[in-house]
């Protein structure tokens, strides 16, 4: 039997990225359960998202400035085990010590978020460094598998909670912790390519242009991640609380459909995609439309449909920025990928937390009560819709930034 090759490395990386979706997508499914069982406010639930992405942000920044001090191969192989440990803590502390439930959720979140940060920083450059195949297409496939993983987690988790009850959520979390452990075993069995840890070589005269280009990409991934992650983290709670749709139907038609469309769009781009600048621009514009429709429509069917369609519009905003960076800034290295991950995590930290604050603030306001009485909606429902509407600021800013990015890179290409 022949030894595993780089083909198996790519497969192991794909599987690991698939399993990492549990740490990203399962907590939002449990937000309403945590609120009911432990009395945790929407603001504190939003803070869990902030803890998640701020932890990832710290990891991103560490790798941005000090990548040379880390053994990339060992970090990649140990990363899934850290995920499993975090999920176990996330489940056990609230179960064994209900009075410390929120502390347990925060602790578990910090642990598996460390692994999530490592995954964002290291998995893409590892895939890009594999000497076989097309790196751009491999990156798109890698990120598409996250979407398929979300579908798997949402459908199985929703059915599990429906059959066995929300009070058994911790059993579900413990079951999901097994998959990343398997991913770690697979990564230990395959060869790892050498990965450039710096920013890559460049002529001194191009340094300023390169840093400016990275700064623009940083802004783009920040706004794109914000646009994507508000819906990713709040679609389940929004459909259940704002639209009054049952959790099972809402999760499957909302969050799962969002993830399916997101994953399929990335898969299609991996096979047929081109002109990433225009793809990103159209995606930002589409996100504005989707959030606006969700905020203003009173029709539950249309609202759920556009929640799901947001997956189409935001699917390429994160991986597409990485592809843009690869195209415009050759040989970026782990440090540049870490910087992009930092931008994405910053957007994913700020936007969902802002949504939680808006919901809690608007829900108890006098004008929400008055408007709700007119529209036959509760203050909480008005808060949810207001949050969705204000989220449009991120893709709107993204449109203007991308227009500048197109002009910037076209100008400097002409000067090269």
What pLDDT digit, counting tens, does each position of 254-271 carry? 667 777 888 888 888 877
% of the chain with per-residue pLDDT over 70: 90
Mean pLDDT, the chain, whole residue set: 83
Average pLDDT rounded to a whole number, residues 203-220:
73
- Is residue 128 very low, low, confident or very high in pLDDT (cuts 50, 70, 90)? confident
* 25-34, 83-92, 210-219, 231-240: which is most confident: 83-92
Kindly state the average pLDDT of the residues 84-95.
92
Using 50, 70 and 90 to split pLDDT, how confident is the model at 416? very low
Query: Does residue 125 surpass a pLDDT of 90?
Result: no
239 contacts 254 by C-beta, under 8 angstroms:
yes
- The whole-number average pLDDT for the span 351-375 is 87
Q: Name the token pair of 267.
A: 């898969």
Work out the average pLDDT over 204-228.
81
Distance CA 116, CA 122 (A): 10
pLDDT band at 404 (very low <50, low <70, confident <90, very high): very high
136, 137, 138, 143: CA torsion to nearest 10: 90
147 or 379, higher pLDDT: 379
Per-residue pLDDT, averaged over 133-145, amounts to 76
**pLDDT recorded at residue 379:** 86
pLDDT of residue 105: 93
CATH number for the region 6-198+214-415 comes to 1.20.1250.20
Long-range CB pairs of 102-105 (<8 Å, 24+ gap) are 102/38, 102/40, 102/44, 105/27, 105/34, 105/48
Place of tokens 């770690």: 184
Could you tell me how far CA 321 lies from the centroid of its own chain? 14
Instruction: Give pTM, 2 decimals.
Output: 0.74
Quick one: pLDDT at residue 332? 67
Task: Please count the other Cβ atoms lying within 10 Å of the Cβ belonging to residue 367.
Answer: 10
- The answer to whether residue 394 scores a pLDDT higher than 90 is yes
Q: What is the pLDDT of residues 260-316, one digit of tens each?
A: 888 888 888 877 777 888 999 999 999 999 999 999 988 888 888 888 889 889 989
CB-CB neighbours of 411 under 10 Å: 10
Residue 360 has pLDDT above 50, yes or no: yes
pLDDT value at position 198? 57
Q: Compute the distance between CA of residue 178 and CA of residue 155 in angstroms, rounded to an integer.
A: 17
pLDDT of residue 88: 94
Q: What is the pLDDT of residues 95-120, one digit of tens each?
A: 888 888 899 999 999 999 898 888 87
Q: Give the pLDDT confidence score for residue 317 in this predicted structure.
A: 93
Going from N- to C-terminal start, the domains of the chain cover 6-198+214-415
Q: Does position 200 have pLDDT exceeding 50, yes or no?
A: no
């Amino acid at each position: 039997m022949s030894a595993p090759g780089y083909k198996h490395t790519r497969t192991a990386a794909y599987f690991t990225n698939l399993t990492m979706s549990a740490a990203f997508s399962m907590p939002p499914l449990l937000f309403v359960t945590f609120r009911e069982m432990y009395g945790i406010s929407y603001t504190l639930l939003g803070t869990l998202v902030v803890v998640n992405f701020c932890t990832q942000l710290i990891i991103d920044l560490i790798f941005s400035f000090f990548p040379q001090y880390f053994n990339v191969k060992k970090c990649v192989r140990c990363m899934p085990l850290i995920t499993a440990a975090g999920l176990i803590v996330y489940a056990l502390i609230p179960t064994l010590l209900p009075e410390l439930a929120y502390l347990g959720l925060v602790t578990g979140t910090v642990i598996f978020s460390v692994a999530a940060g490592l995954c964002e920083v290291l998995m893409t450059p590892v895939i890009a460094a594999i000497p076989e195949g097309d790196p751009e297409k491999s990156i798109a496939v890698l990120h598409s598998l996250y979407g398929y993983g979300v579908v798997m987690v949402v459908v199985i988790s929703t059915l599990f909670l429906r059959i066995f009850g929300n009070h058994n959520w911790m059993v579900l979390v413990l079951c999901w912790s097994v998959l990343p452990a398997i991913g770690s075993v697979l990564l230990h069995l395959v060869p790892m390519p050498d990965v450039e840890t710096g920013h890559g070589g460049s002529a001194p005269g191009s340094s300023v242009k390169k840093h400016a280009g990275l700064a623009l990409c940083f802004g783009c991934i920040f706004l794109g991640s914000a646009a994507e992650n508000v819906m990713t983290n709040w679609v389940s709670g929004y459909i259940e609380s704002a639209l009054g749709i049952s959790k099972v139907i809402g999760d499957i038609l909302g969050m799962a459909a969002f993830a399916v469309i997101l994953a399929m769009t990335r898969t299609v781009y991996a096979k047929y995609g081109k002109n990433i600048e225009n793809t990103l621009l159209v995606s930002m514009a589409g996100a504005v439309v989707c959030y606006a429709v969700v905020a203003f429509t009173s029709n539950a069917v249309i609202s759920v449909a556009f929640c799901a369609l947001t997956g189409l519009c935001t699917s390429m905003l994160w991986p597409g920025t990485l592809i843009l960076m690869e195209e415009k800034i050759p040989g970026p290295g782990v440090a540049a990928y870490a910087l992009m991950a930092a931008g994405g995590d910053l957007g994913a930290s700020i936007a969902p937390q802002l949504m939680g604050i808006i919901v809690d603030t608007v829900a108890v306001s006098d004008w929400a009560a008055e408007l709700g009485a007119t529209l036959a909606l509760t203050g909480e429902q008005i808060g949810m819709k207001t949050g969705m509407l204000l989220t449009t600021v991120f893709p709107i800013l993204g449109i203007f930034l991308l227009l500048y990015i197109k002009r910037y890179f076209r100008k400097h290409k002409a000067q090269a």
